[in-house]
């Protein structure tokens, strides 16, 4: 493990559990560039810039502006993804279509500041029996093309600058019997909720 990678882990621990790490007082331009490069590849750039800014770590002037700009960009993107989730919630709930948001923004809810998570597409689950109904609602209400591609177990589409993936299978195990067992568990799940921008959004129960 390189020195920069060790430092990255220290910054992440501080970002997630404030005050656990004694961090350096300053970073050189080379150190900062390398840290930001690694953090971006691992999709933790928001956490790293948070630790740097919150601890007042001294950076070269241009890197200060870069850190602040990157953090604001990540927050803005996360906010936009949240609005996409809320729009999906409103559209499907209005038609009594049961859904569950999975992956990305659910993980973000465990961050000290959820907007610091680098967001990607919006993944959500629809039961196999309601999958076509859900897609038809989305296609009608949003005017998008949302078709299953080939043998894939999901459909993807774009809306209002966000990318969505609708899944009717969440995992593909080697055993047909285990696949059925897991799928039955998911379909019987009563679900849980997280709060995004003041709205209760449905997800799967913790395992």
pLDDT tens for 10-59 read: 999 999 998 778 899 999 999 999 999 999 999 999 999 999 999 999 99
Q: Is the pLDDT of residue 173 over 80?
A: no
Q: Is the pLDDT of residue 178 over 90?
A: no
Q: Is the pLDDT of residue 149 over 70?
A: no
pLDDT at 182: 79
Q: State the Cα angle at 148 between 89 and 123, rounded to 5°.
A: 35
pLDDT interval class at 87 (50, 70, 90): very high
Measure the CA–CA gap between 118 and 114, rounded to whole angstroms: 9
Judge whether 50 and 116 are in contact, CB under 8 Å: yes
Q: Return the axis-axis angle of helices 3-16 and 45-54, rounded to nearest 10°.
A: 80
Residue position matching structure tokens 């490069």: 37
């Amino acid at each position: 493990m390189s020195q920069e990678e060790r430092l990255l882990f220290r910054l992440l621990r501080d970002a997630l559990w404030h005050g656990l790490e004694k961090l350096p007082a300053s970073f050189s331009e080379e150190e900062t560039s390398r840290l930001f490069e690694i953090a971006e590849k691992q999709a933790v750039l928001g956490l790293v810039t948070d630790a740097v800014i919150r601890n007042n770590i001294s950076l070269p002037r241009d890197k200060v502006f870069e850190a602040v700009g990157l953090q604001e960009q990540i927050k803005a993107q996360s906010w936009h993804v949240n609005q996409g989730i809320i729009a999906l919630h409103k559209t499907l709930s209005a038609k009594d279509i049961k859904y569950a948001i999975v992956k990305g923004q659910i993980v973000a809810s465990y961050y000290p500041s959820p907007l610091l998570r680098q967001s990607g597409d919006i993944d959500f689950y629809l039961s196999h029996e309601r999958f076509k109904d859900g897609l038809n609602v989305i296609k009608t209400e949003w005017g998008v093309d949302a078709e299953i591609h080939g043998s894939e177990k999901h459909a993807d589409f774009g809306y209002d600058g966000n990318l969505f993936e609708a899944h009717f299978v969440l995992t593909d195990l080697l055993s047909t019997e285990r696949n059925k067992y897991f799928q039955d568990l998911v379909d019987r799940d009563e679900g849980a909720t997280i709060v995004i921008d003041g709205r209760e959004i449905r997800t799967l129960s913790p395992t």
